[in-house]
């Protein structure tokens, strides 16, 4: 069944949302989500690389020999990561320093290589662009959700502003590595619970009929 262009765009935010549905690209999700600023910055950087590499890969898909396609995709991705790295170092030095080693590590973010291999290498430019934008937004949403929870609980702040009130005693654990694991694990569990409920309801309605 052929997807419409709109479905191609929205699947990255719904049925195939990164991290939750397709468990790839975990390292940046846990490492940089100690504050919303970092999460959003990482999301934008990854989206830029994802969209650009999807466009290029879908353009060259017919001339790339299939045996060496993976190294070629990696070079394309690495080029855009280097561009991102230089732009961030020049214009947002604070963010660049905060994200640290995870900016060059966008190269090995499995979401990006995964989309190049599974989608852009088989589809046209327009579809691949939409897929890249959708997936990038999905990834950014996940990063922001995790970052919001961790920053609010762990620091009592959001976007650097205190919002939890004077009486709130920050839970330091949440911005330590362990907190990242807990938040992501519980979010995944909550999503799975929703799925299981929906499934049970579907089954009931079929039986009732």
Partner 1 sequence: MDLKVLFLIIIYSILIQNFILSRFLGLCPFFGCSQKLSSAVGMGLAVIFVMVLASAITWIMYTYLLDPTTSLLKYAMASGVAPDLTFLRTIAFILVIAALVQFIEMFLQKNVPTLYRALGIYLPLITTNCAVLGVAVLNIDGFSAIGLNGKLTFLQSNIQGFAGGVGFLLMLVLMSGLRERLELHTIPESLKGLPIAFIMGGLMAIAFMGFSGLSI
Note whether 87 binds partner 1 by CB under 8 A: no
**What string marks each residue from 102 to 121 as x (binds partner 1 by CB under 8 A) or -?**
--xx-xxxx--x--------
| Three-state secondary-structure class, residue 122 | coil
Segment contacting partner 1 by CB under 8 A, of 38-46, 97-105, 132-140, 147-155: 97-105
CA angle 44, 189, 20 (to 5 degrees): 30
Site for partner 1 in 44-73 (CB under 8 A): 70-71
Cβ-based neighbours of 179, under 8 Å, separated by 6 or more: 150, 153, 154, 171, 173
Note whether 170 binds partner 1 by CB under 8 A: no
Q: Which of 5, 23, 87, 163 binds partner 1 (CB under 8 A)?
A: 23
Alpha carbons 146 and 35: distance in angstroms, whole number: 9
Note whether 172 binds partner 1 by CB under 8 A: no
Short-list 68, 84, 90, 83, CA closest to 28: 84
Instruction: Compute the least distance from the CB of residue 20 to partner 1, in Å.
Output: 10
Short-list 107, 4, 130, 113, CA closest to 55: 130
Q: Which of 160, 176, 198, 203 binds partner 1 (CB under 8 A)?
A: 176
Note whether 198 binds partner 1 by CB under 8 A: no
Helix (H) or strand (E) segment spanning residue 162: strand 161-162
Instruction: Compute the least distance from the CB of residue 106 to partner 1, in Å.
Output: 9
**What string marks each residue from 126 to 165 as x (binds partner 1 by CB under 8 A) or -?**
----------------------------------------
Alpha carbons 84 and 153: distance in angstroms, whole number: 31
Task: Give the CA distances from residue 20 to residues 27, 164, 171, in Å, rounded to whole numbers and listed in that order.
Answer: 14, 28, 25
| Three-state secondary-structure class, residue 99 | helix
Q: Which residues pair with 70 in a beta bridge?
A: none
- Residue 133 burial by Cβ neighbours in a 10 Å radius (0-12, 13-18, 19+): middle
64 or 105: CB nearest partner 1: 105
Segment contacting partner 1 by CB under 8 A, of 6-14, 26-34, 56-64, 123-131: 26-34
Residues of this chain that interact with partner 1 (CB under 8 A) are: 23-28, 30-31, 70-71, 74-75, 78-79, 81-82, 85-86, 100-101, 104-105, 107-110, 113, 173, 176-182, 184-186, 188-190, 192-193, 196
């Amino acid at each position: 069944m052929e997807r419409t262009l709109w479905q191609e765009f929205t699947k990255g935010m719904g049925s195939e949302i990164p991290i939750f549905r397709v468990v790839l690209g975990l390292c940046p999700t846990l490492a940089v989500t100690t504050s919303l600023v970092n999460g959003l910055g990482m999301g934008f950087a990854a989206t830029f690389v994802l969209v650009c590499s999807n466009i290029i890969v879908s353009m060259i898909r017919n001339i790339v020999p299939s045996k060496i396609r993976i190294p070629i995709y990696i070079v394309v991705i690495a080029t855009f990561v280097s561009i991102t790295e230089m732009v961030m170092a020049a214009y947002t030095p604070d963010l660049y320093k905060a994200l640290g080693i995870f900016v060059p590590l966008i190269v090995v973010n499995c979401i990006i290589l995964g989309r190049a291999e599974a989608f852009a290498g088989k589809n046209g430019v327009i579809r691949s662009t939409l897929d890249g934008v959708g997936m990038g937004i999905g990834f950014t949403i996940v990063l922001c959700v995790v970052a919001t929870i961790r920053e609010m609980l762990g620091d009592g702040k959001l976007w650097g502003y205190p919002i939890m009130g004077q009486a709130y005693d920050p839970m330091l654990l949440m911005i330590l590595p362990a907190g990242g694991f807990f938040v992501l694990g519980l979010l995944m569990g909550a999503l799975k619970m929703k799925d299981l409920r929906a499934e049970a309801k579907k089954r009931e309605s079929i039986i009732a009929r």
